[in-house]
Chains A and B, each alone.
Chain A
């Protein structure tokens, strides 16, 4: 799979330029632009994001300026700015009334994150969910695996009620009145439902799941098949051309000084160190210990007379780890599918999964996504097939040949623009071979066609007529 650097080399070859007329930094900007445009215009890369209910925002604050100090997440302002507050804002409605010089009234609960709803009796916060950072547009919203209809805040306001506080099973989704990259759901579910989360992922590869459901681990190979004594042996196993995947354990102890000898026991290592230091008997020989070479020797109740007492090394063995050897690759259940959820980068479904979430009792949002960070020259545009890279090249040539100044060729620019557009259309077709799927655009949803009847509204002259 070619890198961006290799692609830029091809682009420069077509431009007959090595950075004089079109600097590589400029080509890289256009390359990123083309990558985003290809995905945004085609809407072909769709991912399913499952949200905790009630939702979470990355940051909350009480002043808009606080958003300037956040990154990689959506900010929610929970403050209520008062017109006469001289920059001050409150969180509770009575605080605003106080700032405005109005007699305060009893307010409902204030909260900074929506999941706190599960602990509160009532709040007048809107029921909003932050979308993924790489969100482009929504294709489908579902609650508990049932699709929600789109509607508009104007329709909801016709109810003449605090509709954003009504509790029940969600029926509609709407852009609402909040920020872009977030949506609102009507009606409100207050029961807290968190998904499976891998524990301690901040420290690297996660080993355990956190969640209310029970789980078990299946793995093709839980134990090591080889033991080895020196790093040379380990390198040989790692470089082996055999198709068998080896899991090996090093049973020797590396000397502290010498780098070319290993001992099985501590006293051996001490001796090696002494030799390396040209000294002798500087340390007392440590007593030897039982040393297993195969995993079954460490299993209590296994075969063999006396090699079982290795409890102190029990965590060495793969079987002592949960979820076992390596990283969890998928989670399955007969009742529901668990999807690996990417929360921040949104670039790939590769790497170490952080969360596994199911759509049961959850809000699932199908989002057409775009890359949310610029590619560097060492990256690869991973959200599209490798064979589609040529359309990004066309985009760069379209921009380069269309750029005012020396080297401008508008005919070539137009030609490559047309070819780029062809790629957009083709990629759009790939996402839906039945050509029937609807794309929910970023524009407001009209809500037309819904059979919900509006509430009765009496005419303004009602008493006079009656």
Chain B
């Protein structure tokens, strides 16, 4: 379905002429469609991309905006050199694990989020070389031209129409009717998640095991010093 098709369907739903709408401009409907795609991407994690970043010497922290401008959040980081997936872990867990994790050098084994636009590697490489593959959930590409097509599966595209109608009705201050369409839009999250294969994704699946005394491959053990 193209942007033009979506706009026509939304205007039909709002009882507006698709060729010469009275209460809405084409750009306003386009904005609603792009907003729906953003919300879908946020709720369903439907858009997935891959980027590659070289490891730099002595560098722990990487800004996602310097890796890919459309990166929402990484969900998998793979080290080509080590042929392994880096485990996601929180800074809090790292601090509890070792007081000197920030000084440990070696091939990266874990990654940890710091900010929405920054993550770190543990341990950090002392020398440059090697490439990380960063698989990430992405923000959707903005639809601008009438012929632009959605990346979503066909069945999920109806959700975008529901959202467009919802947004139009809110503009008319008809919130009661609008909420019905927003509910219809939201009810598609579950199915859309299943289609995008993200349903099984959860925090426990990507965390490092917290079994006591578990070592990293870098041989750094759990911190037992009393401070």
Give residues in A with beta carbon < 8 Å to B: 10, 13-14, 44-48, 139-140, 142, 145-147, 149, 171, 332-337, 339, 349, 359, 366, 384-387, 390, 409, 411-412, 415, 426-427, 430-438, 450-452
Specify which chain A residues have a CB less than 8 angstroms from the CB of B28 in the assembled complex: 13
- A438–B61 alpha-carbon span in the complex (Å): 19
B109 nearest CB across to chain A (Å): 15
| Sample of 8 further A-B pairs with CB below 8 A, known A434-B88, A451-B226 | A332-B58, A386-B139, A387-B38, A387-B42, A415-B175, A430-B116, A436-B203, A438-B92
A142 pairs with B102, CB closer than 8 A: yes
A412 pairs with B207, CB closer than 8 A: no
A430 pairs with B73, CB closer than 8 A: yes
- A434-B206, A436-B93, A437-B90 known; A334 vs B102 contact (CB < 8 Å): no
B207 pairs with A436, CB closer than 8 A: yes
Q: A401 — nearest CB in chain B belongs to which residue?
A: B173
Specify which chain A residues have a CB less than 8 angstroms from the CB of B56 in the assembled complex: 332
A332 pairs with B57, CB closer than 8 A: yes
- A171–B206 alpha-carbon span in the complex (Å): 32
B207 pairs with A140, CB closer than 8 A: no
The residue that B173 contacts in the complex, of A45, A48, A139, A412, with Cβ under 8 A, is: A412
| Residue B114 interfacial (CB < 8 Å) | yes
Contact flags (1/0) for B65-76 with A, using CB distance below 8 Å? 000000011110
Specify which chain B residues have a CB less than 8 angstroms from the CB of A339 in the assembled complex: 61
Specify which chain A residues have a CB less than 8 angstroms from the CB of B207 in the assembled complex: 434, 436
Specify which chain A residues have a CB less than 8 angstroms from the CB of B114 in the assembled complex: 46, 48, 366, 431
A193 nearest CB across to chain B (Å): 16
- A46-B115, A332-B57, A337-B58 known; A433 vs B75 contact (CB < 8 Å): yes
The residue that A385 contacts in the complex, of B74, B75, B139, with Cβ under 8 A, is: B139
Q: B115 — nearest CB in chain A belongs to which residue?
A: A46
**Chain B contacts with A in 163-187, Cβ cutoff 8 A:** 170-171, 173, 175, 179
Sorted from nearest, which 4 A-B pairs have the closest CB atoms? A145-B102, A46-B115, A436-B90, A430-B116
Q: A435 — nearest CB in chain B belongs to which residue?
A: B203
The residue that B61 contacts in the complex, of A140, A337, A409, with Cβ under 8 A, is: A337
Specify which chain B residues have a CB less than 8 angstroms from the CB of A171 in the assembled complex: 227
Specify which chain A residues have a CB less than 8 angstroms from the CB of B115 in the assembled complex: 44-47, 431
B89 pairs with A434, CB closer than 8 A: yes
Contact flags (1/0) for B37-68 with A, using CB distance below 8 Å? 01001100000000000001111110100000
What are 7 A-B pairs at a CB distance below 8 A?
Answer: A44-B115, A47-B115, A145-B103, A334-B57, A339-B61, A411-B175, A430-B72
A359 pairs with B88, CB closer than 8 A: no
- A332-B58, A337-B124, A433-B88 known; A149 vs B118 contact (CB < 8 Å): no
| Residue B91 interfacial (CB < 8 Å) | yes
Specify which chain A residues have a CB less than 8 angstroms from the CB of B93 in the assembled complex: 434, 436
Specify which chain B residues have a CB less than 8 angstroms from the CB of A332 in the assembled complex: 56-59, 128
B95 pairs with A432, CB closer than 8 A: no
Q: A429 — nearest CB in chain B belongs to which residue?
A: B73
Q: B96 — nearest CB in chain A belongs to which residue?
A: A147
| Size class of the B contact interface (CB-based, 8 Å) | 35 or more
- A415–B90 alpha-carbon span in the complex (Å): 34
Secondary structure of the B contact surface, majority rule: mixed
- A433–B73 alpha-carbon span in the complex (Å): 8
Specify which chain B residues have a CB less than 8 angstroms from the CB of A427 in the assembled complex: 116
- A384–B72 alpha-carbon span in the complex (Å): 11
Specify which chain B residues have a CB less than 8 angstroms from the CB of A349 in the assembled complex: 63
| Residue B218 interfacial (CB < 8 Å) | no
Q: A171 — nearest CB in chain B belongs to which residue?
A: B227
A13 nearest CB across to chain B (Å): 7
- A139–B114 alpha-carbon span in the complex (Å): 9
- A333-B58, A359-B102, A385-B72 known; A433 vs B206 contact (CB < 8 Å): yes
A10 pairs with B31, CB closer than 8 A: yes
Specify which chain B residues have a CB less than 8 angstroms from the CB of A451 in the assembled complex: 226-227
A426 pairs with B42, CB closer than 8 A: yes
Q: B23 — nearest CB in chain A belongs to which residue?
A: A16
| Residue B126 interfacial (CB < 8 Å) | yes
**Chain B contacts with A in 79-138, Cβ cutoff 8 A:** 88-93, 95, 99-100, 102-103, 112-118, 124, 126-128
| Residue B158 interfacial (CB < 8 Å) | no
- A359–B100 alpha-carbon span in the complex (Å): 12
Specify which chain B residues have a CB less than 8 angstroms from the CB of A145 in the assembled complex: 100, 102-103
B227 pairs with A48, CB closer than 8 A: no
A427 nearest CB across to chain B (Å): 6
B125 nearest CB across to chain A (Å): 9
| Residue B16 interfacial (CB < 8 Å) | no
Specify which chain A residues have a CB less than 8 angstroms from the CB of B179 in the assembled complex: 415
- A411–B173 alpha-carbon span in the complex (Å): 9
- A433–B76 alpha-carbon span in the complex (Å): 11
A320 nearest CB across to chain B (Å): 28
| Residue B35 interfacial (CB < 8 Å) | yes
Specify which chain B residues have a CB less than 8 angstroms from the CB of A415 in the assembled complex: 170, 175, 179
B173 pairs with A149, CB closer than 8 A: no
The residue that B35 contacts in the complex, of A46, A385, A390, with Cβ under 8 A, is: A390
B18 nearest CB across to chain A (Å): 20
A333 pairs with B31, CB closer than 8 A: no
Q: A358 — nearest CB in chain B belongs to which residue?
A: B58
Specify which chain A residues have a CB less than 8 angstroms from the CB of B31 in the assembled complex: 10
Specify which chain A residues have a CB less than 8 angstroms from the CB of B72 in the assembled complex: 385, 387, 430
Q: B128 — nearest CB in chain A belongs to which residue?
A: A332
Q: A437 — nearest CB in chain B belongs to which residue?
A: B90
- A142–B118 alpha-carbon span in the complex (Å): 18
A184 nearest CB across to chain B (Å): 17
B108 nearest CB across to chain A (Å): 13
Q: B34 — nearest CB in chain A belongs to which residue?
A: A387
Specify which chain B residues have a CB less than 8 angstroms from the CB of A431 in the assembled complex: 113-116
A342 nearest CB across to chain B (Å): 13
Q: A384 — nearest CB in chain B belongs to which residue?
A: B116
